[in-house]
Structure 1
């Protein structure tokens, strides 16, 4: 498989895995709180990675650790909690579409902060995508008045974090193995995650006889191992062999999978929201246009 084929293969796998993550979070939240979900997801992922990939830590040099810390915070720790809270108030399918802002933010901050080039067509793509996002949020507030669309801001903030993560990996961690980056991230996060979890009532109320809780932990285990540990390693590899904007474009394919799961779970989308999603996809066409 050549590099071009690898890029599209990784992009497809990530879209399926991450597209399924939103419904897994929604199901997990039936038995745990948003803070517990965020913390447990990091703990489960860390335990998995440290058990199968701990030797990769040796590849991390002193010069890398500063950027490993940055990517752990903005690419995993903060977004993990933001998404957990957002899904408590907005349908998972809509959250996945809002996450499509990531390539726009990757381009914007890649240019302003990291010195990457910026094409006029990409500017058009950013503006088109923002229009689609605005339509999605405003229409969602009408279609689902019981949902609090102010929580959409949490997804936007998370997408900025993902944007910084992709650019940092490309510019400062390009010479480091993808698995080492991911394992290093979660080595740093396991202790803060345990501390956060200890401030909730999880350890006090934990009961193996609680079927709802155990089902939630099952969803969390899948989400952590496949949707976070394996997927983030693949994503870091994708950034290495392509570029930050192409890699973050996976967020435009994710909604296709997420909407499928959401509809099966009884979520509703209006035609105008679908239009908003299509406008966002048009935006990514311009963002990724070569000429």
Structure 2
């Protein structure tokens, strides 16, 4: 299949995988605590990536291991736990829409801490996107009084961590393959994930023999292998086949898939929240749209 068509196949596959991750988190929380879910997800993914990408770790220089470790914590472990905590109080579809603020926050972080350049269009895109996030949180809080919408700040914090991670990789780990970065960061995280599971008594016989826990582990297994490990490989390949602008357009599709699963699972979602989500996506579009060159 020509690369022109293959990149669309990868884009759709990636949106399905990442868009389905939020409902899998929700299902995993039925038998696991947020910390356990995040730790199990990291542990399974780490073992899988170690098996297929261990040779790539040789690319990492000694001085780069600190950045690899930071990338692992703020790009995977902490966000995994934060999103899990968020979905104990807010719907999975809402969490997915708030996750779409990553490109906006990456632009802010790049400008503020990494000396990135920006233009007026990107500035307005950031403002529109952040306005949409605020509207979404306030709309959800008023329409779902039974839910604690302070937890909606957790996906925003997680997205901010993703934004820092993207800039760190771009600035300090550019000469390492994507598989090498992912494998190295997960190797660092494996002992911490294992320690968290020990601390929360995850390995107790009574806990592991619980039917609800076993069913939740099935969802987390799918989440780890497909929504984390496979998705990372596909995303890296998508960047190679296309460009960063095209590959980050998956941001537009993830909430659509997550919303579909949320509605199927009985989550409430109305026009106010839909409109706020649309404002966020408009901001993402404005901040990432290429400026047209004027003809002289």
Give 1:63 deviation, angstroms.
3.8
Cross-structure match for 2:46: 46
Cross-structure match for 2:294: none
Give 1:201 deviation, angstroms.
2.3
Give 1:183 deviation, angstroms.
0.7
With 182-191 and 44-53 compared, the bigger mean Cα shift is at 44-53
TM-score of the pair, normalised by structure 2: 0.91
**CA distance in structure 1 between the partners assigned to 2:11 and 2:110 by the alignment:** 20
Cross-structure match for 2:232: 232
Pair 1:96-2:57 in alignment = no
8 Å CA contact 2:202–2:208 kept in 1: the answer is no
Give 1:280 deviation, angstroms.
1.2
With 164-173 and 26-35 compared, the bigger mean Cα shift is at 164-173
With 168-177 and 42-51 compared, the bigger mean Cα shift is at 168-177
Cross-structure match for 2:127: 127
Taking a change above 3 Å as real, the CA distance of residues 235 and 116 of structure 1, as seen in their structure-2 partners, is: farther
Cross-structure match for 1:72: 72
**CA distance in structure 1 between the partners assigned to 2:143 and 2:150 by the alignment:** 15
**CA distance in structure 2 between the partners assigned to 1:60 and 1:122 by the alignment:** 34
1:1-291 alignment to 2 at 5 Å? 9-207=9-207, 209-236=209-236, 242-243=243-244, 247-291=247-291
Match of 2:289, SS state, is coil
**CA distance in structure 2 between the partners assigned to 1:261 and 1:113 by the alignment:** 37
Match of 1:202, SS state, is coil
**CA distance in structure 1 between the partners assigned to 2:250 and 2:148 by the alignment:** 26
**CA distance in structure 2 between the partners assigned to 1:3 and 1:72 by the alignment:** 31
TM-score of the pair, normalised by structure 1: 0.92
Taking a change above 3 Å as real, the CA distance of residues 235 and 170 of structure 1, as seen in their structure-2 partners, is: farther
| Cα deviation digits, residues 4-49 of structure 1 (max 9, x gap) | 7666554433221110000001001111111110111111111111
Count of aligned residue pairs for this structure pair: 290
Unaligned runs of 5+ in 1: none
8 Å CA contact 1:178–1:234 kept in 2: the answer is no
| Cα deviation digits, residues 194-229 of structure 1 (max 9, x gap) | 111111121225455422111111111111111111
Taking a change above 3 Å as real, the CA distance of residues 13 and 274 of structure 1, as seen in their structure-2 partners, is: same
Give 1:73 deviation, angstroms.
1.3
With 218-227 and 54-63 compared, the bigger mean Cα shift is at 54-63
8 Å CA contact 2:72–2:188 kept in 1: the answer is yes
8 Å CA contact 2:17–2:226 kept in 1: the answer is yes
8 Å CA contact 1:166–1:248 kept in 2: the answer is no
Taking a change above 3 Å as real, the CA distance of residues 166 and 8 of structure 1, as seen in their structure-2 partners, is: farther
Give 1:51 deviation, angstroms.
2.0
Give 1:164 deviation, angstroms.
1.0
8 Å CA contact 1:102–1:249 kept in 2: the answer is no
Taking a change above 3 Å as real, the CA distance of residues 277 and 158 of structure 1, as seen in their structure-2 partners, is: same
